[in-house]
Amino acid sequence: MLDIKLIRENPDAVRDRLRQRGEGYDLAPILSLEEQRRTLEIQRTELQTRSNEIGKVIGQSIKAGADPQGDEVAALRHEGNDLKQQLSALEPAEKDLKEQLTALLLGLPNLPSETTPIGANETENVEIDRWGDDYKITHDVLPHGDIAEKLGILVTDRAVKIAQSRFIALIGAGAALERALIQFMLDRQIAAGYLEVLPPILVNSASLQATGQLPKFAEESFKCAEDDLWLAPTAEVPVTNLYRDEILDGEALPIYHCAYTPCFRREAGSYGKDTRGLIRLHQFNKVELVKIVRPETSEAEHQALLKDAQAILEALQLPYRTIELCTGDLGFGAQKCYDLEVWLPAAGTYREISSCSNFGDFQARRAGIRFREKGKKGTQFAHTLNGSGLAIGRTMAAILENYQLADGTIRVPEVLQPYLKREVL
């Protein structure tokens, strides 16, 4: 959530930064509500100050010998009671204004970082670099979904029978490969300094609002009809919310967490896209990286998080490229984001496998995550960052294509062989 003080004091600058995202955001209703709220706040403060003064005057008058039942004291008490009634009348109006203002602020996206490339859409994203040889395969390669079904390690029709379209079941070596990838990624990220978390998979509305999925993206998530609970779209949500409404000890920062969870997304708006295989499913597994850091270190922490995600692809020897998203393609809560895209030879293209985002204090304001330095009275909002380290299904898809041999078998990446106890699928 954006700082209302920033909007109030620099509306033109905020408008310009939001305009870089390519959408129109009208700040006039927010500024109007904020002016009304501040007017009521000033009025309430003045009334409260006068009410406190009357209380003191009554005490001083009685102490000086005034009759507690006399006209002078009675008049003061009458004025005090009148002020209390006025204050009581202001409370619901002030509460209503705050709720309206919060609702509008929750609908505003984060401001792009000043270093984020300006662009209208994904065609203006900037390629930072490439790693690996993405054209080394000379024989024909079947798409990962086709080879997986041919090998009998993935079934779709039976999974659809159990659930619906965009669900799959992994069988035998397919299930083992998924499990091996999860363990391998966790092992690597724990070794890199992340503390593992196994969080709840069901999250409440407050948690989704804190990380920015609600209210804007309600249609993207699955909700339990009888409870205020949703299936987590990513471990970012429960892990970040471990610290919601807390004031952390500054000495405890930075906090690094990694977590494996199943993730659930409706994939609204993607009808007809990637209907086969492992790319765009309603349920998929992912290892997520989450950081809570001081503001002054967040840029460096972002670069380090990106390298931690890249290290998984490099260990698996999977060709990839790093893309810096432009302002028009940024996610709702991100101020700066890098996408990692892995090479899929059957399609002859790169596909996103990780997004590494810096949210600044955007999520922390929504979630109330602050910290206090030792010996100081005030608090500051922390900065939050996260990234996939990595999406498991898309990693498996890349392995099934990049490690596919001419005879239709799959060579197991060397770093996974100790987990799978085999060299070929």
List domains and CATH numbers for the chain.
Answer: 4-106 (1.10.287.40), 122-420 (3.30.930.10)
Verify whether residue 15 is a known catalytic residue: no
Q: Is the pLDDT of residue 68 over 80?
A: no
For strand 369-372 and strand 246-249, is the pairing parallel, antiparallel, or unpaired? parallel
From the list 306, 370, 311, the residue with the least C-alpha distance to 336 is 306
At residue 52, the pLDDT reads 84
DSSP state of 292: E
Q: Is 363 helix (H, G, I), strand (E, B) or coil?
A: helix
Q: What is the mean pLDDT of residues 197-203?
A: 98
At residue 230, the pLDDT reads 97
Q: What is the pLDDT of residues 135-162, one digit of tens each?
A: 677 789 999 999 999 999 999 999 999 9
How far is the C-alpha of 203 from the C-alpha of 331, rounded, in Å? 21
Contact 230, 204 (CB under 8 A): yes
Verify whether residue 280 is a known catalytic residue: yes
How far is the C-alpha of 105 from the C-alpha of 7, rounded, in Å? 10
Q: Is the pTM of this model over 0.85?
A: yes
Please indicate whether residue 173 or residue 272 has the higher confidence score (pLDDT): 173
At residue 375, the pLDDT reads 85
At residue 15, the pLDDT reads 96
At residue 62, the pLDDT reads 77
Q: Which stretch of 17-26, 147-156, 202-211, 382-391 has the lowest confidence by average pLDDT?
A: 17-26
Question: Which tokens go with 219?
Answer: 């249609």
Verify whether residue 61 is a known catalytic residue: no
Q: What is the pLDDT of residues 260-285, one digit of tens each?
A: 999 999 986 555 566 678 999 999 99
Q: Considering 113, 221, 298, 355, which one is annotated as catalytic?
A: 355
Q: What is the pLDDT of residues 216-255, one digit of tens each?
A: 999 999 999 899 999 999 999 999 999 999 999 999 999 9
How far is the C-alpha of 174 from the C-alpha of 148, rounded, in Å? 8
Q: How far is CA 217 from CA 26, 93, 365, in A?
A: 20, 29, 18
For strand 383-391 and strand 255-264, is the pairing parallel, antiparallel, or unpaired? unpaired
Residue type, 211: T
Bridge partners of 249, per DSSP, are 372
- The overall average pLDDT reported for the chain is 93
At residue 272, the pLDDT reads 57
Contacts of 290 (CB under 8 A, 6+ apart): 235, 236, 239, 240, 256, 257, 258, 259, 384, 385, 386
Q: Is the pLDDT of residue 66 over 90?
A: no
Q: What is the pLDDT of residues 85-107, one digit of tens each?
A: 888 888 899 999 999 999 999 99
Ranges of H-type helices in 192-297? 205-211, 236-240
Q: What is the pLDDT of residues 357-398, one digit of tens each?
A: 999 999 999 999 999 998 888 999 999 999 999 999 999 999
Q: Considering 17, 21, 37, 265, which one is annotated as catalytic?
A: 265
Q: Considering 280, 321, 372, 411, which one is annotated as catalytic?
A: 280
Q: Considering 352, 372, 373, 411, which one is annotated as catalytic?
A: 352
Longest dimension (CA), the chain: 106
Verify whether residue 355 is a known catalytic residue: yes
DSSP state of 268: T
Verify whether residue 220 is a known catalytic residue: no
At residue 275, the pLDDT reads 65
